[in-house]
Amino acid sequence: MANLTINGKAFDLDVEPDTPLLWAIRENAGLTGTKYGCGIAQCGACTVHIDGVAIRSCGVPVSEAVGKQITTIEGLASANGALHKVQQAWIANDVPQCGYCQTGMIMAVAALLKDKPKPTDADIDTAITNICRCGTFQQVREAIHQAATA
Amino acid sequence: MNYLSKISRRSFVIGSAAAGGGLAIGFDLPFGPKSAQASASEPELGVWVVVKPDDSVIIRIARSEMGQGTITGLAQLVAEELECDWSKVSTEYPTPGQNVARKRAWGSYSTGGSRGIRESHEYVRQGGAAARMMLIQAAANEWKIPVEQCSAANSIITGPDGRKTTFGKVTEAASKLPVPDKPKLKDPKDWKIAGKPLKRLDTADKVTGKQIYGSDLKLPGMLNAAIKECPVFGGKVKSFDAARVAGMKGVKKVVQVGNTGVAVVADTWWHAKTALDALPIVWDEGPNAKVSSSSIADTLKQGLDAEQGFVGNKSGDAKAAIASAAKKVEAVYSYPYQNHAPMEPMNATARYTADKCEVWVPTQDGEASFAAVLAASGLPADKCEVYKINLGGGFGRRGAFQDYVHQAVLIAKEMPGTPIKLLWSREEDMVQGRYHPVMQCKLVGAFDKDNNLTGMHMRLSGQSILAAVRPAIVEQQKGRDPLAFQGVFESGEHAFGYTIPNLLIDHAMHNPHVPPGFWRGVNINQNCIFMECFMDELAHAAGQDALEFRRKFLGKHPKNLAVLNAVAEKIGWDKPAPKGIYRGLAHMKAFAAYVAAAAEISVTDGNKIKVHRIVAATDPIYAVNPAQIDRQVAGSFVYGLSALFLQECTVKDGRIVETNFDTYDSMRIAQMPKVESIIMPSGGTDPWGGVGEPTICVAAPAVLNAYFNATGKRIRSIPLKNHGITMV
């Protein structure tokens, strides 16, 4: 059993402590916006925030997330339902293609903008290392800059 | 769940419009007389359009959305003729079972070969036009005036005296009218919705996590399965020790899947995968267990000099021209196996009982999935159904091949009544691919004493996709795989763009045991590298400019010339590049579209390439949504440049070595060049060209040619990581 706080809500989950956080979020908490892409923290599709920091959740055991604030894509919008400025910029720029990697990409970008509200292209290159096989990077970069000025 | 409720309440009247058809679909489907009940609440206007009394418009889409924007583009075409309010449009997938029951009223479901729009634009536009005519007729009937006095725009019908009604008010009456056959279509120059850079219809749920992919599906009582197939292609299961994992947490069952696979079914997928990893399995690796990349390469190498090959393009006498040449230029190129690696691994969810087999699956071809359900379940068509789910990437892996559907049904048959979601691990996805085929190529060019090109022989040696996937076509062609010549073929949508005297392009076919597949762009990836890099080699040998040299052979190919000129002009080919920047060109006709690229790179330490900028031109004849075409062009370069620099599936002991993104890497944003696309539809009566694939092939040769200009080195084998070259 593990008690996790996800998007401000308490979850009492029937999982072993070494279960990757990704699978506890997807299968036990039932929040499927966080995606499985590789399982070895290479692709970033499973990116969530733990205490505000972008983390690839496939590489984190549940035991390490206990007692921390976990935010998934489902919790990124405001409580009143207003989308986060990154989500808004994604819609304005028509960023997603298949969309499968985009929730992780958006979580990574949201964390970047918290650290660096006006990132340079070099900041983006360093911080955003998610894989997108559709190849949305050109729109991703434009949308990041737009979100930074929103 | 929204998706499921939509499926269960959807029902249909018997259709009269027969759309599409006639394409070789590669499998047999029974076409039964079954029909469903009409739904009074959702008036159907022909098979493509439903207008509800509240004025909302549902446009039916047969092809699959995998990120390429096809549902938006197809809906634009229908809406254009329908004259509806675009803000009221949504889309839905009719199921493959319904298509079969209605004698393929929606035509082909196949979403590959960049054909989603180009091969269905006419009949979907006719579907929109027919629905508009029915709505206007219904209004005219109500007003008791001739239909010619009424017109429609923006979902409103207007009569001669200015009276108005809406689509929603007349849709019930319209749905009872006959569907007009082959209505006249608008001239594309009058388009207001099609041809415009509209936003996609499917973005909102993709940024909130609400979009349900196949791997996200939840059904009541569902269990999860993880699978391993014999890693050596052609091998099978010898034994496995189910008792060793039977007591592990969550495990429900261990099942053999056909002769070749073993699956663990558990409460969660993580439990299933954990148990599968702990399960002792002994494989009978079969006759291919000693095959390696080098043994395959040795076999292909023999084909380079074989006396005969299947001929794909021929004029004059190339061998004689080469024999009498004043100067010969010769080069050997090669292209490796590559995996599709879509971000979402293969998956399918199946529920089987003796009376019904249902499958939920992200698929590029719903009918191919349906055929797989029939075959695996043993049930007749009226007891099978497939529900399509948007794909987390496809790139060719989820179309012709439905192995995961077959597996899911076989597992579900072991537990009747229980829905089983089968999800592959990334590792399974990497080692059970249907790979971009291996190919080597020897090119010989002949010059006379005045440096005129007098002949060329291009000898391909390697694997045929069609021999493995559509053997009937190869048989019909007396052993030739016409697809092997994409981009250099004698005619058609992949016709060679140059007129070269004394030309021979032929293929020595060798088919290793590694299963090949259609991989975004298919055979244009290697053929464009081979041909367009070699054209550069020839230009260099003749001491001529790469653009001028190409132009000499493009006199009879104005559309090829136009895209090449467009990129040359935009990148400033006639002026010197900025200091430290080097340029390269490439072009091709592929999937009926004309494409070209000009790349600008810099090179540090001789082996670190920065691709700064690629100017890309595409002429798809008609452009339905320029904003989405722009995204497909840029995206295709990410796929193509990842393949050029980073990706090879090597073979050792009969199996694929690379099992995840740590050894099979993919480009990141830091490596992304600035892509400037030129969309230049030439219109007219030529068949429409594709968009998703054609441009993929021109990025790699443009970069390789630029690398030669920077360093004087020709790289003739892929990927560049094998040469110690990195992408920065």
| Residue from A38, A91, A142 whose CB has the most chain B CBs within 10 Å, to mutate | A38
**Among B528, B432, B438, B540, residue whose Cα is nearest residue B488:** B528
Contacts of A124 in chain B (CB under 8 A): 669-670
Contacts of B248 in chain A (CB under 8 A): none
A131/B666 CB distance under 8 A: yes
* pLDDT at position B327: 98
Separation between Cα atoms, residue B359 and residue B387, nearest integer Å: 6
Contacts of A98 in chain B (CB under 8 A): 66-67, 342-344, 390-394
| Residue from A133, A137, A144, A146 whose CB has the most chain B CBs within 10 Å, to mutate | A133
B670/A129 CB distance under 8 A: yes
B343/A96 CB distance under 8 A: no
B209/A45 CB distance under 8 A: no
In CATH, the number for domain A2-75 is 3.10.20.30
Contacts of A74 in chain B (CB under 8 A): 208-209
Q: What is the pLDDT of residues B80-132, one digit of tens each?
A: 999 999 999 999 999 999 999 999 999 999 999 999 999 999 999 999 999 99
Q: What is the pLDDT of residues B506-543, one digit of tens each?
A: 999 999 999 999 999 999 999 999 999 999 999 999 99
Q: How many CB pairs under 8 A join A and B?
A: 178
A27/B425 CB distance under 8 A: no
CA dihedral B307, B313, B315, B317 (to 10 degrees): -10
Separation between Cα atoms, residue B126 and residue B107, nearest integer Å: 13
A125/B669 CB distance under 8 A: yes
Domain boundaries, chain A: 2-75, 85-148
pLDDT band at B209 (very low <50, low <70, confident <90, very high): very high
B392/A38 CB distance under 8 A: no
Query: In chain A, which residue's Cα lies nearest the Cα of B267?
Result: A27
Query: In chain A, which residue's Cα lies nearest the Cα of B677?
Result: A138
Checking if the pLDDT of B7 tops 50, the result is no
Nearest-Cα distance to chain A for B125, in Å, is 24
Checking if the pLDDT of B37 tops 70, the result is no
| Residue from A40, A74, A97 whose CB has the most chain B CBs within 10 Å, to mutate | A97
A100/B662 CB distance under 8 A: no
B391/A87 CB distance under 8 A: no
Separation between Cα atoms, residue B70 and residue B62, nearest integer Å: 10
Given a contact cutoff of 8 angstroms between Cβ atoms, the answer to whether B617 and B563 are in contact is yes
- Sheet containing strand B89-92, edge to edge, reads B44-45, B49-51, B57-60, B89-92
Given a contact cutoff of 8 angstroms between Cβ atoms, the answer to whether B618 and B700 are in contact is no
Checking if the pLDDT of B572 tops 90, the result is yes
| Residue from B2, B200, B208, B611 whose CB has the most chain A CBs within 10 Å, to mutate | B208
Region B246-261 average pLDDT: 98
Q: What is the pLDDT of residues B614-634, one digit of tens each?
A: 999 999 999 999 999 999 999
The radius of gyration computed from the CA coordinates of chain A, to the nearest angstrom, equals 15
* pLDDT at position B41: 56
Q: Give strand pairing partners of B506.
A: B311, B459
Region B174-199 average pLDDT: 97
User: CB neighbours (10 Å) of residue B203?
Assistant: 20
| Residue from B3, B207, B212, B658 whose CB has the most chain A CBs within 10 Å, to mutate | B207
- Whether the ω angle into residue B362 lies within 30 degrees of 0, i.e. cis, is no
Nearest-Cα distance to chain B for A37, in Å, is 5
A100/B213 CB distance under 8 A: yes
* pLDDT at position A1: 86
Region A80-95 average pLDDT: 97
Checking if the pLDDT of B424 tops 90, the result is yes
Contacts of A138 in chain B (CB under 8 A): 631, 634, 672, 674-675
Separation between Cα atoms, residue B661 and residue B726, nearest integer Å: 16
Query: In chain A, which residue's Cα lies nearest the Cα of B638?
Result: A135
B209/A101 CB distance under 8 A: no
Query: In chain A, which residue's Cα lies nearest the Cα of B661?
Result: A42
A98/B200 CB distance under 8 A: no
**The pair of three-digit structure tokens given for residue B383, joined into one six-digit string:** 């007891």
* pLDDT at position B171: 98
pLDDT band at B22 (very low <50, low <70, confident <90, very high): very low
Given a contact cutoff of 8 angstroms between Cβ atoms, the answer to whether B518 and B400 are in contact is yes
Q: What is the pLDDT of residues B389-400, one digit of tens each?
A: 999 999 999 999
Nearest-Cα distance to chain B for A96, in Å, is 7
B207/A20 CB distance under 8 A: no
A35/B215 CB distance under 8 A: yes
The ipTM (two decimal places) reads 0.98
Query: In chain A, which residue's Cα lies nearest the Cα of B70?
Result: A97
Contacts of A126 in chain B (CB under 8 A): 670
Query: In chain B, which residue's Cα lies nearest the Cα of A38?
Result: B426
Query: In chain A, which residue's Cα lies nearest the Cα of B428?
Result: A38
Amino acid identity of residue B612, one-letter, is H
Decide the pairing of beta strands B420-423 and B223-229: parallel
pLDDT band at B25 (very low <50, low <70, confident <90, very high): very low
pLDDT band at B367 (very low <50, low <70, confident <90, very high): very high
Q: In order of start, what are the domains of chain B with their CATH numbers?
A: 2-196 (3.30.365.10), 217-286+346-423 (3.30.365.10), 305-338+435-727 (3.30.365.10)
Select from A43, A134, A140 the Cβ nearest to the Cβ of B669.
A140
Select from B66, B200, B392 the Cβ nearest to the Cβ of A94.
B200
Contacts of B661 in chain A (CB under 8 A): 37-38, 40, 42-43, 131
Contacts of A20 in chain B (CB under 8 A): 270
Q: Give strand pairing partners of B459.
A: B442, B506
* C-alpha neighbours within 13 Å on the C-beta side of residue B4: 9
B636/A135 CB distance under 8 A: yes
- Residue indicated by tokens 């005296």: B161
Mean pLDDT for all residues in chain B: 94
| Residue from B71, B206, B268 whose CB has the most chain A CBs within 10 Å, to mutate | B206
Query: In chain A, which residue's Cα lies nearest the Cα of B205?
Result: A99
Select from A94, A106, A140 the Cβ nearest to the Cβ of B203.
A94
Q: Where are the alpha helices (DSSP H) in B191-288?
A: 243-246, 269-278
Q: What is the 3-state secondary structure (H, E, C) of B130-190?
A: HHHHHHHHHHHHHHCCCHHHCEEECCEEECCCCCEEEHHHHHHHHCCCCCCCCCCCCCHHH
Positive or negative, the Cα torsion across B265, B271, B276, B279?
A: negative
Q: What is the pLDDT of residues B141-178, one digit of tens each?
A: 999 999 999 999 999 999 999 999 999 999 999 999 99
* pLDDT at position A150: 87
Checking if the pLDDT of B404 tops 70, the result is yes
Contacts of A31 in chain B (CB under 8 A): 209
Checking if the pLDDT of B326 tops 50, the result is yes
Checking if the pLDDT of B20 tops 50, the result is no
**Among B394, B392, B373, residue whose Cα is nearest residue B382:** B373
Superfamily of domain A85-148: [2Fe-2S]-binding domain (1.10.150.120)
Q: Percent of chain A having pLDDT more than 90?
A: 99
Angle between helices B70-82 and B121-143 (to 10 degrees): 30
Contacts of B212 in chain A (CB under 8 A): 32
